[in-house]
Each structure stands twice: as C-alpha cells, then as structure tokens.
Amino acid sequence: VVLVLLCSVSSSFAPPTQHVLEKSEVAPSKLNMKLKDAYESVLSFFRPVTCHHRDEQTLIPCHVGDGLNTTECLENKCCPSKNSHEPKCYMPFKDNLQLTFRVLVLVAGGFLILGCLPFCCCAFLQRSQCFNPLRRANKKIKKIVRKKREHSDDVYDRLLN
C-alpha cells in the first residue's frame, strides 16, 4: 500500500539535477544510493509542502540565492513568486491538509488489509488438509472403506465368473 501511494503521489517539484563526479571523487555504492532515494521519498511523503500561501503567511526567501529564475528555483526545491513585491524565490510551506489526507489513506489501507487478512487466511487454511481435520480421512473410516471395496470387488468377481 505504501509503495503504491508513494508511486501515485508525485511531488510538485522538478527532480534535482544529477551530480557529475570529479576525478578525485569515488562513486557511492548503488545500494547506498537506492536506500537514500527510498528514505528521501518516504520523508517527502510524510512532509508534504506547497507553494500556495495565504495572506497571513510570511514568505521566507530561499537559502540558495536571490537572482534565480523559475527553473533554478524549482530545481532547488523552492517556490518561484508571481508578484514583484515578493521575493523571487521563497521556501515552500508545510501542507497539513495533504499530510492529513495521506495519513488517513495509509491508515484506511492498513485497516482494510488487517480486516481482510483473517478472511483470506481462513479461506486458504480451510482447504488445507494439514489444518482442517475434517478434510483428513480418519484411519477407521479408511479401513472400513477399504474392506467394503475389497468385499464389493469379491462379489463383482463372483458374479462375472
């Protein structure tokens, strides 16, 4: 459920540019990079931000610099301004509504899985001979059935002869 939500909910920012390695730098391992990417995606899932601000919110200029155009501003995970009296590039705001929605969907999915799990387990285990004693043939019943088959085979053979 978490993976589906992470894949379906995309961030509103442009992906960061890739860092080109210099000759003296050593490339990090792929596993380390995958873990770091997974950690960042989980962190961004639980810390949603938005560029839409209300009138009472104060705009904090982006820490990268002042003379950035819109593309550079988005690459540095900042918000470009539309008005001239605001800073050109400002920090995004926490989106509590989006966070509430994501947590509610995650909790509802968890409860749905936990609610369906007993039914699925019962359906699979009920058909299993290991767990359902009614599916297993009783030794006494096997013996009786074998004797009746032998007896019926004897009777059938006598009728044919």
Give me the DSSP letters along 63-121.
SS-SS--HHHHHHTT-EE-SSSSS-SEEPPEE-HHHHHHHHHHHHHHHHHHHHHHHHHH
Question: What is the mean predicted confidence (pLDDT) over 138-142?
Answer: 82
Residue type at 130 in one-letter notation: C
- State which of 5-9, 15-19, 110-114 shows the largest mean pLDDT: 110-114
Q: CA 161 to CA 151: how far, in whole Å?
A: 16
Label residue 122 by pLDDT band (50, 70, 90). confident
First to last CA, the chain: 69
Question: What is the mean predicted confidence (pLDDT) over 97-125?
Answer: 92
Q: Would you state the pLDDT for residue 25? A: 53
Q: Would you state the pLDDT for residue 18? A: 43
Q: Would you state the pLDDT for residue 82? A: 80
Number of H helices, E strands in the chain: 5, 4
Using one digit for the tens of pLDDT, what is the confidence trace for 23-58? 455 555 677 778 888 888 888 888 998 888 887 778
6 Cβ contact partners less than 8 Å away, ≥ 6 residues apart: 41, 42, 45
Q: Would you state the pLDDT for residue 161? A: 63
Q: Would you state the pLDDT for residue 14? A: 41
Q: Would you state the pLDDT for residue 7? A: 42
